[in-house]
């Protein structure tokens, strides 16, 4: 009943911070967790342990703001669409690829907004329908999250510490899943825009800000944190600090030290503000998750006999039910899906190396990429003034196929 209650509450649009906190209290009561243990572990230690992840999220958002403030992100987008020639399809594909590239190392709704006000007006001004431009943008961000360190740290919270390292097999899988996601974005764009030529006389509904081009060699900066983590085993914090330094260096911002300091401090302030509410929700999620872990025995006794222990059955179920990742449903890890993951982990049928990429398939392919309740998706829909129904009809069928393929890929590689 606690699981059903959390699912119902989140689907109805309840505040996730409140929902996770109340659920943590309920699960402490159900599991008869001793008072002292609940106070020390559930409501204190769980949040303490989450501290390093919170730092990565804040710095990821800061890094994204620096890419915007230095002009790197805007220049990448502008140059990519300039290569599109006179075809809307090619232009939109290039803009989508550029967006995915930028968000491999960038995180935060502030970066999404700052880059969106550059990319989206360009696409709209050349005649790309609002529903297509909107779906392409949000799906491109979702594709990048497969190898985004800040996002990975969030999903790793659901599993034992260090049970799934970022570098190694997961990263290899993440790259493949990202490429599959990009392939379906291209298919979606081809289906909707194939043969359409750019209408250069179209009047944009919103005007992009002025873009200052930066040196081409600065374009490598967005993936610096990922490269350093995978190739040199750097921690994400060190990688992001290096990325910020290189962003300032390659764009000439270090020539005037005072200006560079002002830029980085402003980016840090704005970046942390962008993720403040997210962090509050994630802190209570950590409490809920610890409380759920202390009820693993009850979960296994109640649900073990009725849930499948074959990973292929779970992959097929996740693929078939992928739309349940929308509207904070049972397959949205940062919504009601947190309870679903708690149940699956509590059963102990699957190793974290399999379960983590498996739950990410609908979590990224559907929820992050297309859910209107996701903060940056909601902003994008509002910015382009596209109807929610048109937005979902345009992107969900392709996102659904992405989930099916990537869920099966997860079982094939780790099952």
pLDDT in tens, 2-22: 667 776 776 676 777 888 888
Question: What pLDDT is stored for residue 337 in this prediction?
Answer: 81
- Predicted structure pTM score: 0.87
- Percent of the chain topping pLDDT 90: 52
Mean of pLDDT over the chain? 87
* DSSP states along 300-351: HHHHTTTS---HHHHHHHHHHTGGGGGGG-TT-TTTTHHHHHHHHHHHT-S-
Residue 403 sits in which domain range?
Answer: 2-414
Question: What pLDDT is stored for residue 330 in this prediction?
Answer: 83
How many structural domains is the chain composed of?
1
**Mean pLDDT across the stretch 220-247?**
94
Q: Using 50, 70 and 90 to split pLDDT, how confident is the model at 298?
A: low
Token pair in block for residue 399: 């996102």
**Mean pLDDT across the stretch 130-137?**
96
Q: Using 50, 70 and 90 to split pLDDT, how confident is the model at 299?
A: low
pLDDT at 297 over 80: no
CA distance 103 to 304: 39
pLDDT at 61 over 90: yes
Taking only the tens place, the pLDDT of each residue in 349-362 is: 889 999 999 999 99
Task: Give whichever of 34-48, 106-120, 180-194 has the largest mean pLDDT.
Answer: 180-194
Question: What pLDDT is stored for residue 205 in this prediction?
Answer: 46
pLDDT at 208 over 80: no
Question: What pLDDT is stored for residue 202 in this prediction?
Answer: 44
Task: Tell me which residue has tokens 């890419």.
Answer: 67
**Mean pLDDT across the stretch 184-201?**
78
Taking only the tens place, the pLDDT of each residue in 372-397 is: 888 899 899 999 999 989 999 999 99
**Mean pLDDT across the stretch 206-230?**
83
Question: What pLDDT is stored for residue 407 in this prediction?
Answer: 96
Distances in Å between the Cα of 313 and the Cα atoms of 66, 321, 356, 403 are: 44, 12, 16, 14
CA distance 247 to 237: 15
CA distance 230 to 393: 37
**Which is more confidently placed, 88 or 130?**
130
Q: Using 50, 70 and 90 to split pLDDT, how confident is the model at 201?
A: very low
**Which is more confidently placed, 286 or 203?**
286
């Amino acid at each position: 009943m606690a699981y059903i209650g959390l699912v119902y509450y989140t689907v109805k649009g309840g505040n996730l911070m409140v929902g996770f906190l109340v659920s943590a209290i309920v699960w402490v009561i159900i599991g008869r967790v001793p008072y002292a243990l609940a106070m020390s572990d559930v409501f204190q230690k769980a949040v303490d342990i989450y501290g390093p992840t919170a730092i990565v999220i804040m710095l990821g958002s800061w890094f994204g703001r620096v890419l915007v403030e230095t002009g790197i992100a805007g220049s990448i987008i502008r140059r990519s669409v300039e290569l599109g020639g006179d075809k809307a399809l090619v232009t939109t594909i290039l803009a989508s690829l550029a967006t995915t590239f930028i968000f491999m190392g960038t995180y935060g709704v502030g970066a999404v907004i700052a880059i969106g006000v550059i990319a989206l007006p360009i696409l709209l001004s050349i005649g790309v329908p609002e529903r297509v431009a909107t779906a392409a943008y949000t799906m491109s961000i979702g594709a990048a999250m497969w190898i985004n360190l800040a996002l990975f740290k969030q999903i790793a919270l659901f599993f034992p510490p260090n049970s799934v390292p970022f570098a190694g097999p997961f990263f290899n899988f993440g790259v493949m899943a990202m490429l599959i996601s990009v392939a379906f974005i291209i298919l979606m764009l081809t289906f909707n825009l194939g043969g359409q030529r750019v209408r250069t006389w179209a009047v944009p509904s919103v005007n992009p800000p002025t873009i200052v081009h930066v040196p081409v060699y600065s374009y490598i900066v967005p993936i610096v944190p990922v490269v350093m983590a995978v190739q040199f085993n750097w921690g994400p914090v060190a990688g992001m600090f290096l990325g910020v330094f290189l962003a300032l260096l390659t764009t000439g911002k270090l020539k005037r030290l005072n200006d560079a300091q002002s830029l980085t401090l402003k980016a840090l302030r704005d970046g942390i503000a962008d993720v403040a509410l997210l962090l509050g929700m994630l802190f209570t999620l950590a409490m809920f998750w610890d409380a759920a872990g202390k009820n693993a025995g009850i979960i296994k006794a109640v649900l073990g006999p009725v849930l499948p222990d074959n990973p292929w059955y779970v992959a097929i179920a996740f693929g078939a039910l992928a739309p349940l990742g929308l509207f904070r449903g049972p397959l949205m890890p940062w919504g009601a899906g947190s309870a679903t993951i708690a149940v699956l982990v509590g059963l102990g049928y699957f190793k974290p190396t399999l379960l983590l990429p498996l739950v990410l398939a609908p979590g990224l392919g559907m929820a992050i990429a297309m859910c209107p309740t996701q903060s940056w998706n909601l902003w994008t829909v509002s910015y382009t003034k596209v109807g929610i129904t048109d937005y979902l009809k345009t992107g969900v069928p392709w996102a659904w196929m992405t989930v099916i393929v990537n869920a099966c890929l997860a079982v094939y590689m780790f099952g």
